[in-house]
Structure 1
Amino acid sequence: MTTATLLFLPPRIGDPWRWLRIDGDAVAARGEGVPEADGAPVVAVAPADAVTLHWAALPARSIAQAAAAARIVVSDASATPQEQLHVAVGEAEGEDRPIGVVSAARMREWLDSLLAIGVDPATMIPAPLLLPATEDGFVRADLGGQAVVRGPASGFADEQGLTEFITGGVAPETLDRAALERALASAAAAPPLNLRQGAFMRRRRRAIDWALARRLALLLALILLATLAIDLATIARYALAADRLEAQADAIARRALPRDAGAVADASRALDERLSRLRGPGQGFTRTVAAALSAIRPVQGAEVEALDFQPNGDLGITVTVDGDAVANALQARLRDAGFAVSGGAFESTGGRLKGQLTVSSR
């Protein structure tokens, strides 16, 4: 069942708006002015004298490709520059497809006037195409205050002199009311040609799917919750691992402490204190002696006779050398190794020099 409102565009400025409301296969209401919105789709009807109709065999391609081919077909039939024309292609009727040619400026005027009354139709049909197609002969009807004629491959406004010329003197058959209403219902349900194509296509307003939006919001919340749970689980795992390592370190430190150490609150600190006592002050006995001997060993003619590690971390070194030059070279090597060197009073003993140096960490 077809339910639609046909709104006829006035042929001239100042003419009244006329409309027909189709319900099923019959006209349920008619009137002048702007129809009340009842939810039924509005089909705008363009005046017959403003749209030139052609029929041509066009390839069954997309609307854009067919319109481009139609421009080539109608280019020789219009004196108006192509850029000022709007060309629309309809559904195939046998081997041919209807082509509508209208001024682009006129299309803009119509759409602006419709928007001014709060109407934005998805479909705009040239008035002659509301009449049924004929295999031969012509049919006539009054639509929206204008008489129109349609033939096998023509459609135009009924004007005295012009009609006889196009029909070859054959008088068009006037449709009765029932046949006209059936034709109107059929054209409203399946428009043979819609002028709203290309630059004048209706822009679809996308409604917000709130159910989908809620589902997406819930999904996003679940993703964030899962991410937070993963982070919390990772933090907890790292915390447990750190506690386990700390407990292992504490157990190892306790095994390294003397048995008579008793209960120790901080085993790690107690172990550090014991190592400090064993190692000695400063850099400790082992590091200090190793560094000093490494500095002395390359000096030719120098021998270490005694070592004396002091409680304050200083190291006393008794050495014998072959001469003053060797003694100076020895002290330079120790300073280069990072030690502060004091003493250095050498005495001659058995043809060699003997003295004591005190080195300490800087």
Structure 2
Amino acid sequence: MTDTIALFLPARAKHEWRWITVRDGAIASRGDGLPDRDLPPDSSVVAIAPAEAVALHWADLPDRSLAQATAAARLLVAEASVTPLGDLHVAVGQEAGLTERPVGVVAAAQMSDWLAMLAESGFEPASVVPSPMLLPRPDEGYVIGDLGVDGRVVRGAASGFADEDGLTALIVGDAPVAMLDRDALEDAIVAALADPPLDLRQGAFALRKRAAIDWVLVRRLAWLIVAIMSVTLLITLVQIVRYNASASSLEAQADMLARDGLARGETVNDAGQQLTDRLARLRGGGAGFSRTAASVSSAVAAVPGAEITGLSFDSSGKLRVSLATQTQGQIVDVQSRLAAAGFSAEPSTFTSTAGRLTGVLTVAPL
């Protein structure tokens, strides 16, 4: 069961609030002042704006989006109003089966005051409906409804205003006027509250819906996050196990290969280090005998008149080269070529014998 509470905004400061409650398609209760703030959860509040504060017009507006219709209505209002458009709030409604649409114009400051007054009283209206729009639209002429202390309102086919002596007669003229009895007025109010033909809560004053927390969705998302993190952790653990297994397998293969390179009968403690030590013993220290001797041979061969007369390689990686040359410059040339190959060549004292210089170069890696 859904209740609709209609709050009649005071037309003047001396007037009091009034309210009615609509339940099951009929007015169930009414009263003066403000109703109890503890409303049922499924109830809605509709504020009724006094006719004196809202100017109503009807215009043939495009049947498109509300924003487009409102923009067109603002252009029409700007032409007809002396008040700057920026100070006005324009709202557009829709009546079933009609091409002409109601347009409500109210001061923006007045709308702000109404909503602030309602908020201070503890109410957030879903709609703000001008009081003339509570009356049914007559096929011809005008209808009048008595809203009590707020006075009477007049509704025509394309007009709506407060009933004032002299002004009403001037507007109505010779058109037929019907006074709604209480039952007809209450039926019209119930119908208007169920589907307001014009709601002033549009644009800047539209109702801002508060986002409700869907705790069921939150719990589902939480479980989903836990599942994703669990799967991610499981994948990481599996990868770690696989990497460890692969590393162990590679270490075992490397150990087997190292064992194959060691001398038979040698006790294996650290195959990798033992293999490195054996390679050093086989090739010699430093850059090894083969590389050092090859570099010396290339350097000497590139210097005409120079020749190697002897080689001696020690465990420290130094190669003693007995060298014979024709001139001192050839010794320097051999040293330069060895330096370019990455070796130092420290000469001993060269002596002249039978027209040739002989001595020793001690070659080592730089």
Say whether the fold is shared (TM-score over 0.5).
Answer: yes
Per the TM alignment, residue 242 of structure 1 is displaced from its structure 2 partner at its CA by: 1.5
Residue of structure 2 in register with 1:102 after alignment: 106
2-structure distance, mates of 1:169, 1:85? 33
Per the TM alignment, residue 50 of structure 1 is displaced from its structure 2 partner at its CA by: 1.1
Residue of structure 1 in register with 2:179 after alignment: 174
TM-superposition CA deviations, 1:120-148 (whole Å, max 9, x none): 11100000110111101322222252211
Which AA in structure 1 matches 2:297?
A: L
Question: After superposition, where does 1:127-206 map in structure 2 within 5 Å?
Answer: 127-145=131-149, 146-170=151-175, 172-206=177-211
2-structure distance, mates of 1:324, 1:103? 112
Residue of structure 1 in register with 2:362 after alignment: 358
Given the superposition, is the C-alpha separation of residues 73 and 355 from structure 1 closer, same or farther in structure 2, using an over 3 Å criterion? closer
SS at match of 2:189: helix
Question: After superposition, where does 1:224-235 map in structure 2 within 5 Å?
Answer: 224-235=229-240
| Corresponding residue to 2:224 among 199, 202, 219 | 219
1-structure distance, mates of 2:153, 2:170? 15
Given the superposition, is the C-alpha separation of residues 357 and 59 from structure 1 closer, same or farther in structure 2, using an over 3 Å criterion? closer
Matched, 1:71 2:77: no
Per the TM alignment, residue 100 of structure 1 is displaced from its structure 2 partner at its CA by: 0.9
Matched, 1:325 2:324: no
1-structure distance, mates of 2:2, 2:344? 107
2-structure distance, mates of 1:57, 1:113? 34
Matched, 1:43 2:46: yes
Per the TM alignment, residue 315 of structure 1 is displaced from its structure 2 partner at its CA by: 1.7
1-structure distance, mates of 2:89, 2:339? 98
1-structure distance, mates of 2:69, 2:57? 13
| Corresponding residue to 1:285 among 278, 282, 289 | 289
Per the TM alignment, residue 335 of structure 1 is displaced from its structure 2 partner at its CA by: 4.6
2-structure distance, mates of 1:75, 1:241? 81
Q: What percent identity do the matched residue pairs reach?
A: 49
Per the TM alignment, residue 107 of structure 1 is displaced from its structure 2 partner at its CA by: 1.1
Gaps of at least 5 residues in structure 1 are none
Q: Is the 8 A contact 1:138 1:173 kept in 2?
A: yes
| Corresponding residue to 1:83 among 86, 90, 111 | 86
Per the TM alignment, residue 172 of structure 1 is displaced from its structure 2 partner at its CA by: 3.1
Per the TM alignment, residue 113 of structure 1 is displaced from its structure 2 partner at its CA by: 1.0
Per the TM alignment, residue 294 of structure 1 is displaced from its structure 2 partner at its CA by: 2.4
What TM-score, normalized to structure 1?
Answer: 0.93
Residue of structure 2 in register with 1:207 after alignment: 212
1-structure distance, mates of 2:326, 2:344? 22
Per the TM alignment, residue 171 of structure 1 is displaced from its structure 2 partner at its CA by: 6.3
Q: Is the 8 A contact 2:138 2:157 kept in 1?
A: yes
Which AA in structure 2 matches 1:347?
A: S
2-structure distance, mates of 1:340, 1:357? 6
TM-superposition CA deviations, 1:228-247 (whole Å, max 9, x none): 22222222222222211111
Gaps of at least 5 residues in structure 2 are none
Q: Is the 8 A contact 1:55 1:154 kept in 2?
A: yes
1-structure distance, mates of 2:314, 2:44? 107
Matched, 1:247 2:252: yes
| Corresponding residue to 2:299 among 286, 295, 299 | 295
Given the superposition, is the C-alpha separation of residues 162 and 148 from structure 1 closer, same or farther in structure 2, using an over 3 Å criterion? same
Is the deviation greater in 287-296 or in 184-193? 287-296
Count of aligned positions? 360
Given the superposition, is the C-alpha separation of residues 356 and 84 from structure 1 closer, same or farther in structure 2, using an over 3 Å criterion? closer
Q: Is the 8 A contact 2:140 2:176 kept in 1?
A: no
1-structure distance, mates of 2:5, 2:89? 25
2-structure distance, mates of 1:266, 1:339? 34
SS at match of 1:230: helix
Q: Supply the RMSD in Å over aligned alpha carbons.
A: 2.0
Per the TM alignment, residue 221 of structure 1 is displaced from its structure 2 partner at its CA by: 2.2
Per the TM alignment, residue 216 of structure 1 is displaced from its structure 2 partner at its CA by: 1.6
1-structure distance, mates of 2:225, 2:25? 50
Is the deviation greater in 249-258 or in 144-153? 144-153
Given the superposition, is the C-alpha separation of residues 334 and 54 from structure 1 closer, same or farther in structure 2, using an over 3 Å criterion? closer
